[in-house]
Structure 1
Amino acid sequence: MSDLGTLSYYLGIEVRQGKEALTLSQSTYASKLLERSGMAECKLCVTPMEEQLKLTKASTAARVDAILYRSIVGSLRYLVYTKPDIAFTVGYVSRFMEDPREDHWAAVKQLLHYVKGTVDQGIVFPKTGRSGL
């Protein structure tokens, strides 16, 4: 077995090791997700979901492409590993994968706008010694 050096990339997760902290992020994955969804040039947003948004499975809005919806939401589920701030919204829009509608897709697009604004953020584990995180 040979030494491959310090870990820098693993299963789509970028690992940056510094003197003060270890950072996990998925900025490349998030950028590719935005490109695939056609949202690479979208405006930034500061919240992952509209406040008090109420979605329902009994929506009467027009149907959207279920395969695209499932693909994007599935990719967002993987992005949650390094972006726990989107976990609630991703779980919420995941409820409508069976029969996605326009209002459900609008919520996913809002989330993608938020991802665009936070593409370089991730989880930071400070190196503080034995006292914990």
Structure 2
Amino acid sequence: MATDIPLGPVTKQPISANQGQIVIPQKYLPQRQWSTKLVGDCCTDKGLCCKTFCCPCCVVHRIALQVGETENACLLAYCVQGNIWPLRTKLRTMVNIEGSICDDCVSSCFCGYCVACQLSKEADLLEKEGILDFTAKA
């Protein structure tokens, strides 16, 4: 009986497809709330508020890099109103923040600037806590 499986002792560890990445299933992270409110807290940091209003692509680009997206991730995010919701969904699910894709989409469509401020503050906080590792300067 011929098989394609080599017989004999195992001499090295099998290599997985996601080599070098540690994947923590969401169920093991404690559920948390957003650290800032969507409306109201967006203007507490006047500099971020002005930067988001005047140059939202700069803010969204930094958020995209913080959550592990590519350099070009922000190109579509503000070309069409409300397209920041995938970044909000990604960040929310990465750290198990309470919410839904529907909440992300609706919030982004109606309060895009506030969502950008909220995401920026959340990503910065997660970076300070050591959960996100972001070394580029915005």
TM-score by length of 1: 0.36
If asked which structure has higher relative contact order (CA below 8 Å, sep 6+), I would say 1
The structure with the larger Rg is 2
TM-score by length of 2: 0.35
